[in-house]
A and B are shown apart, each in its own frame.
Chain A
Amino acid sequence: GDDDDDSADATTTTVDSMPEAPTSEADAETPDADAEMPDAESPMSERCGDPDRLGDSINFLNWADYIDEAVLEMFEEECGVSVTMDTHVANEEAIAKVDAGNSGYSLVIVTDYAVEIMSSQGLLQELDMGEIPNAANIDPNQMDPYYDPGNVYSLPYQYSTTGLAFDETAFSTPPTSYSAIFDENSHCGSSSLLEDQREVLGAALVYLGYDWNEVSQAAHDEALDLVLESRDCVTGFDSANYIGNLASGEVLVAQSWGFAAGIAYLDNPNIRYIIPEEGGTIWQDNFLIPADAPDPYTAHVLINYMLEPDIGALITEFTIGYTPNLTVPPLLSDGYYEVIAGAGLELTDDIRERLVWQVRSEEHSIFAETWSEVIAAG
C-alpha cells in the first residue's frame, strides 16, 4: 500500500481494502490458479481437492468477526462449494452446539483448551493429513500443542496472546506489570479487565506470584480479594467494548487480547501492547472436524485451502493475530507489519518465555467458583 504511513483513518481504509492486494500477489505466485476465470468448463483449481468427493455446501462455525469474508467468497467461486458460516462468541457455545449432536457443522474453530475437552468427549474425528498437504507449511513451534499431542484432531488457525494494552500518552512511564490495574491503579475509572474468568483470575494469580493455572483454594481466595478490590476501579469486565473504548480514550489501560490491541491501534496509534513481566497467556485457535460432521472431506479441503499462503495472508491481515503458517509472513502487507510494530505486538522469544498456556480440566472448576463470587459481588 502506498498510503500506509498516513493517519489512522487512512490505515483503516488500507486494511479494509486489503483483499485485492494479496489476491493479485497470489495470482502472480500461482499462475495456474486463474482467479479471473475460475468457473465455467475450465478445470477446477487444484486447491479444491477431488471434485468428485467435494460437497456442494458446507457449514462452518467460527468465532464472530474472525475471518475476512472474502476468503469464503473466493472458496465458493474457486471450488463451487457454498459456505455457510455461523459464528460463536464463546468456546463453550461452540462445544455446546457440537455436543448437542448433529450440529450440521463440518468445520469448527475453537481455542486450545476446548479442543482437549472436545476430543476427550469423542466429539471430534481425526484429521486425515493426507488431504491437507498445506499442513506442512505450519510453524513447528505451533504444532504438537499440549491440548492435542501430535495434532490428531486439530490444526492451528491463528494464535495470539493476552496482555495489557494502554494509551501511551496517558503514561509517563509505560506500565510493565499488572500493578497498573491491580495495585496503584493510576487510571482508576479508565482501566478494564477482560470478561473471562481464566484471564482475570490468572492475571491476579500470577500477579500474586502463583501459577497462572493454580487451583489451590488459598491462592484463589487471595486472587478473589485482589479482583474484588480492583473491581471498583475498573470500568468493567469487558471483552468487547474496551477495544472501541481504547480507541476513543474512554479506557486508558486494559487487559487485552493481542489482536484486539492491534485493532485498537488502527483507530488510535497511541495504543501500545505489552506482556507484563509477571507473564501472559498464549492461545491458539484451531480447525476441528466434529465426529458427526456431514461432510468431512469438504472440511479437509477447506482447511487446506485456508492454509494456502495467499488465503492465510488474507485471514491474518484481517484478524491482526499471528499466523502459524510459515508461508504467510512474506505475503503480509506493510500495513500489517506497521500495526504489529507500532503497537508492540512483535512476538519475540524473550516474550514467548513469559507466556503460558491455559489448561483446563475438572479441577479447574475452581475458577468458575471464584468467578461466581465476582459476579455475586456486583
Chain B
Amino acid sequence: MIRRRPSRRFANLAIGSASVLVYVFFYVPVAVLVLFSFNQARTGGRWGGFTTEWYSALFDNDRLITAAQNSLLIAVVATAVAVVLGTMLSLAIDRRTFRGRTAAQQVVYLPVIAPEIVTGVALLAFFSLTLGRLNDLLGRGAQDALRMGRPTIIIAHVAFCTAFVALVVRSSLRTLDPSLEEAAQDLGANAWTTFWRVTLPSIMPGVLGGALLAFTLSLDNFVITFFVSGPGATTLPIEVFGQLRRTISPEVNAISTLIFGASTLLLVGALVVQSTVSRQRSQRIRPLSRQPRNRAAQARATQATHTQLEGQP
C-alpha cells in the first residue's frame, strides 16, 4: 500500500540482494559440509548417495568425540570466566576514574590487535619457561608435573575472550542511563544490590552478546590453541587440522553438522523466547508524547485537573 519512489525501491533492492549474497557466502560452505556429512563417498567431490553412516561412525570415534568435548568444555569455561572478568573490566573503565585509565584501556585492547600467531609462539615460549621453572621450584617429578594442556588453553582463551567481552559490554554500558543506578542507590540499594538488580539486567544484552562472541572465538580458535595445548587437550580444530594430512573424514563433517544444528536450535529457541517476551512487552506501548484521544477529558483537565486521568479508557 505504501508508495515508494522507484530510485528508493532500487536502492532497497540493491541493499537487500547484497545482504542475501553475504548470507549465501556464509552458508554455502556450511551447506557443503552438511551435504558431505550425508555423502556415502568417502572422499569429497562426488555424490555417492545418501547415508547416515558417518553419524553412527562418529559415535565410535573417540578421538573426535573427545576433541569436541574438549572444545566445548574449554569454550564454556573460558566464556564463563571471560564474561565475569570482561564485565568487571568494562565497569571499571566506564564507571571509575583512575590514573592510567588510558593505559589500562590499551592493555585490554591488546588481544584484539595482537597478531594471533605472535601470541601463540610467545605463549609457547612463556609457558615452557615458566612451567619448567615452576616444576624445578616445586621439585615436581615427571608424574605430577605442571604441564601444558587444558589449563593453559583456558588461560590463553580467557585472555582474548575477556577483551572481546569487555569491548561489547562497554558499548552497552555507554548507552545505559547512569541515573538508573543512582535511582537504585537512592532507594536504598547498596553497590552490590545495585549491580545485581539494576546494572546487570540492564546491560544483559551486551553481556550475552559478548558471551556469544567469546564462545564463538574460543570454539574456533586454532593458532593460539595449537601452541599451548598439551597431552589430552586436543580441541576440535586441532584434531581436524591433523586429519588434513589425508582427506578430511566425513565424520568431521558429521560432528560439524551436529554442532551447527544444535547451536542453531538453541539460538532459534532463544529468539522465540525473546520474541514472545518482546511481543508481551510491546503490547499497548504508548510513546511518551502521545496524549489521550479523548478531547473532552482534556477540556475538563484544564478546569479541574484532578478529574482528568490520562490513561483512562
Chain A residues packing against B (C-beta within 8 Å): 9, 12, 59, 61, 63-65, 69, 84-89, 96-97, 99-105, 239-241, 243-244, 247-248, 263, 267, 292-295
B131 near A65: Cβ-Cβ < 8 Å? no
The smallest C-beta distance from A58 to any residue of chain B, in angstroms, reads 10
One of B72-80, B144-152, B203-211, B298-306 at the interface: B144-152
B146 near A12: Cβ-Cβ < 8 Å? no
A100 near B132: Cβ-Cβ < 8 Å? yes
Mark B187-198 against chain A: 1 for CB-CB distance below 8 A, else 0: 000000000000
Question: Which of A63, A88, A292 lies at the interface centre, i.e. has the most chain B CB atoms within 10 A of its CB?
Answer: A292
The smallest C-beta distance from A130 to any residue of chain B, in angstroms, reads 21
A295 near B143: Cβ-Cβ < 8 Å? yes
Alpha-carbon gap, A59 to B233, bound state (A): 11
Closest to B239 in A: A87
Question: Which residues B41-73 have CB closer than 8 A to chain A?
Answer: 41-45, 48, 62-63
Closest to A88 in B: B242
B246 near A104: Cβ-Cβ < 8 Å? no
The smallest C-beta distance from A176 to any residue of chain B, in angstroms, reads 27
A240 near B231: Cβ-Cβ < 8 Å? no
A100 near B246: Cβ-Cβ < 8 Å? no
Closest to B141 in A: A294
A59 with B231: in contact, given A101-B132, A244-B43 (CB under 8 Å)?
Answer: yes
* Residues of B close to A293: CB separation below 8 A: 142
A102 near B135: Cβ-Cβ < 8 Å? yes
* Residues of A close to B16: CB separation below 8 A: none
Mark B209-242 against chain A: 1 for CB-CB distance below 8 A, else 0: 0000000000000000000011111100001011
Alpha-carbon gap, A44 to B128, bound state (A): 39
The smallest C-beta distance from B125 to any residue of chain A, in angstroms, reads 9
The smallest C-beta distance from A306 to any residue of chain B, in angstroms, reads 18
Q: B33: CB under 8 A from chain A?
A: no
B127 near A89: Cβ-Cβ < 8 Å? no
The prevalent SS among residues of B at the interface is: loop
B243 near A248: Cβ-Cβ < 8 Å? no
Mark B233-268 against chain A: 1 for CB-CB distance below 8 A, else 0: 110000101111111000000000000000000000
The smallest C-beta distance from A194 to any residue of chain B, in angstroms, reads 12
Q: B124: CB under 8 A from chain A?
A: yes
B43 near A267: Cβ-Cβ < 8 Å? yes
B43 near A104: Cβ-Cβ < 8 Å? no
A100 with B244: in contact, given A87-B234, A244-B43 (CB under 8 Å)?
Answer: no
The smallest C-beta distance from B60 to any residue of chain A, in angstroms, reads 9
* Residues of A close to B62: CB separation below 8 A: 69
Chain B residues packing against A (C-beta within 8 Å): 41-45, 48, 62-63, 124, 127-128, 131-132, 135, 140-143, 145-149, 229-234, 239, 241-247
The smallest C-beta distance from B198 to any residue of chain A, in angstroms, reads 47
* Residues of B close to A267: CB separation below 8 A: 42-43
Closest to A69 in B: B63
Question: Which of A86, A99, A100, A102 lies at the interface centre, i.e. has the most chain B CB atoms within 10 A of its CB?
Answer: A102
* Residues of A close to B229: CB separation below 8 A: 86
The smallest C-beta distance from A343 to any residue of chain B, in angstroms, reads 16
| 14 A-B contact pairs sorted by A residue (CB < 8 Å) | A84-B231, A86-B230, A86-B232, A86-B234, A87-B239, A100-B124, A100-B148, A104-B149, A104-B230, A104-B232, A243-B247, A244-B43, A247-B43, A292-B142
The smallest C-beta distance from B220 to any residue of chain A, in angstroms, reads 18
B124 near A87: Cβ-Cβ < 8 Å? no
The smallest C-beta distance from A91 to any residue of chain B, in angstroms, reads 13
Closest to A104 in B: B231
A102 with B243: in contact, given A84-B232, A96-B124 (CB under 8 Å)?
Answer: no
* Residues of A close to B233: CB separation below 8 A: 86
- Supplied contacts A12-B42, A102-B147, A241-B244, 12 more A-B pairs, CB within 8 Å: A65-B242, A65-B243, A65-B246, A69-B63, A84-B231, A86-B232, A100-B128, A100-B131, A100-B148, A102-B131, A244-B43, A247-B247
The smallest C-beta distance from A283 to any residue of chain B, in angstroms, reads 15
A103 with B143: in contact, given A84-B231, A243-B247, A248-B45 (CB under 8 Å)?
Answer: no
* Residues of B close to A100: CB separation below 8 A: 124, 127-128, 131-132, 148
* Residues of A close to B146: CB separation below 8 A: 102
A102 near B142: Cβ-Cβ < 8 Å? yes
- Contact partner, B128, options A63, A99, A104, Cβ 8 Å: A99
The smallest C-beta distance from A12 to any residue of chain B, in angstroms, reads 6
The smallest C-beta distance from A211 to any residue of chain B, in angstroms, reads 29
* Residues of A close to B148: CB separation below 8 A: 97, 100, 103
Closest to B57 in A: A16
Closest to B149 in A: A104
The smallest C-beta distance from B139 to any residue of chain A, in angstroms, reads 12
B246 near A263: Cβ-Cβ < 8 Å? yes
B243 near A64: Cβ-Cβ < 8 Å? yes
Closest to A239 in B: B245
Closest to B249 in A: A65
Question: Closest 7 A-B residue pairs measured CB to CB?
Answer: A64-B242, A100-B128, A102-B145, A59-B231, A104-B231, A244-B247, A101-B132
B145 near A294: Cβ-Cβ < 8 Å? yes
* Residues of B close to A65: CB separation below 8 A: 242-243, 245-246
Alpha-carbon gap, A267 to B210, bound state (A): 46
The smallest C-beta distance from B143 to any residue of chain A, in angstroms, reads 5
Alpha-carbon gap, A86 to B148, bound state (A): 13
Alpha-carbon gap, A84 to B232, bound state (A): 6
A103 with B247: in contact, given A12-B42, A244-B44, A292-B142 (CB under 8 Å)?
Answer: no
The smallest C-beta distance from B36 to any residue of chain A, in angstroms, reads 12
B147 near A103: Cβ-Cβ < 8 Å? yes
